Amino acid sequence: MRYLILSDIHANLEALKAVLRHVRRKHFDHVLFLGDAVGYGASPNQVTGWLRSLGPEATSVRGNHDRVCAGLDGGEYFNRYARQASGWTFERLEARNLEWLRALPEGPAEVSPEVTICHGSTLDEDTYVFSSYDAQVAFSAVTQPVIFFGHTHVPSMFVLRTNPEAMSLRARLLSGRRVVVDLEEGERYLINPGSVGQPRDRDPRAAYAIYDTNARRLHLYRVLYRVEEARRRIIQAGLPPVLGDRLLYGA
Ligand code: ZN
């Protein structure tokens, strides 16, 4: 099985299109979407509509922005730019897209006995997994050896060696245009493929991953896209300009 793994698209149609173009000649069987389809960007309906069109070809979990933009909570804890964007998004979402977002399940979602997905952490969709402590907590809440998560917008990986005589937890940032990781037996993995639509690791290129379960091989890619166009459309839409500017720097 080959999974295409997408996270944190954030209504950035330009980035999503570039990823889909890049992935066109690579085979995949199923899409894993780790949440935050909308919020921040100018194309909530196009992005949600595309995800919706995948139907059973995708397994998806909700992100915190999906929850707030769909009106399921008020987003009181959001900063003012995120809150402005979620209000803007809620007002513009077509009924069928709003309905689809509202129906997205909260993670973790078990994909197979080997793989599970979540947005933030396995215990809570709003919790960020940045530190080894966060990772340890996330590992303890599920049994699958491979966990894909989003929310931080930083491509990264935690590896837990489960052999009781040599317990260890390693953390690694996964930066670069193309990164290959071979997953070992007897280890557990928490993997963030990075963000399609709002990278925050100082690399403005869109991020995504493909995981081949037979080969136990993960590919992470970074793809150039029309950042200026995404920024222009954010500003033209009346969204906070800072949400366009940050795309230029991947920050
Ligand atoms: Zn996000």
Instruction: Tell me, in angstroms, the distance from the centre of ligand 1 to residue 33's CA.
Output: 12
pLDDT digits (tens, 9 = 90+) for 42-76: 999 999 999 999 999 999 999 999 999 999 999 99
pLDDT digits (tens, 9 = 90+) for 174-221: 999 999 999 999 899 999 999 999 999 999 999 999 999 999 999 999
Instruction: Tell me, in angstroms, the distance from the centre of ligand 1 to residue 151's CA.
Output: 5
The CATH number, out of the four listed (1.10.630.10, 3.40.50.720, 3.60.21.10, 1.10.1580.10), of the domain defined by the range 2-107+175-186+193-249: 3.60.21.10
Decide if pLDDT at 141 tops 90: yes
Which H/E stretch holds residue 231?
A: helix 227-236
Beta bridge partners of 30: 3
Instruction: Tell me, in angstroms, the distance from the centre of ligand 1 to residue 140's CA.
Output: 23
Instruction: Tell me, in angstroms, the distance from the centre of ligand 1 to residue 163's CA.
Output: 33
d(CA 243, CA 198): 9
Domain locations in the chain?
2-107+175-186+193-249
Reduced to 3 states (helix: H, G, I; strand: E, B; else coil), residue 22 is: helix
Instruction: Tell me, in angstroms, the distance from the centre of ligand 1 to residue 2's CA.
Output: 24
Decide if pLDDT at 163 tops 90: no
Place of tokens 């990075």: 194
pLDDT digits (tens, 9 = 90+) for 84-132: 999 999 999 999 999 999 999 999 999 999 999 999 999 999 999 999 9
CA distances from 228 to 134, 197, 202, 234 (A): 35, 13, 16, 10
Instruction: Tell me, in angstroms, the distance from the centre of ligand 1 to residue 39's CA.
Output: 8
Phi, psi of 76, deg, nearest 5:
-60, -30
Do residues 1 and 7 touch, judged by C-beta distance below 8 A? no
Instruction: Tell me, in angstroms, the distance from the centre of ligand 1 to residue 166's CA.
Output: 35
Decide if pLDDT at 164 tops 80: no
Chain-wide mean pLDDT for the chain?
97
Instruction: Tell me, in angstroms, the distance from the centre of ligand 1 to residue 17's CA.
Output: 18
Token pair in block for residue 157: 């990986």
Place of tokens 């795309």: 247
User: 133, 122, 246: which is closest to 192 by C-alpha?
Assistant: 122
Sheet holding 58-60, edge to edge: 58-60, 30-33, 2-6, 206-212, 217-223, 178-182
Residue 162: its pLDDT value, please?
79
What pTM did the predictor assign? 0.97
Decide if pLDDT at 234 tops 80: yes
Instruction: Tell me, in angstroms, the distance from the centre of ligand 1 to residue 160's CA.
Output: 25
Instruction: Tell me, in angstroms, the distance from the centre of ligand 1 to residue 45's CA.
Output: 17
Instruction: Tell me, in angstroms, the distance from the centre of ligand 1 to residue 64's CA.
Output: 7
Do residues 245 and 231 touch, judged by C-beta distance below 8 A? yes
Residue 177: its pLDDT value, please?
97
Instruction: Tell me, in angstroms, the distance from the centre of ligand 1 to residue 70's CA.
Output: 14
48: number of Cβ within 10 Å: 27
Strands 146-148 and 187-192: parallel
Residue 81: its pLDDT value, please?
96
pLDDT digits (tens, 9 = 90+) for 27-37: 999 999 999 99
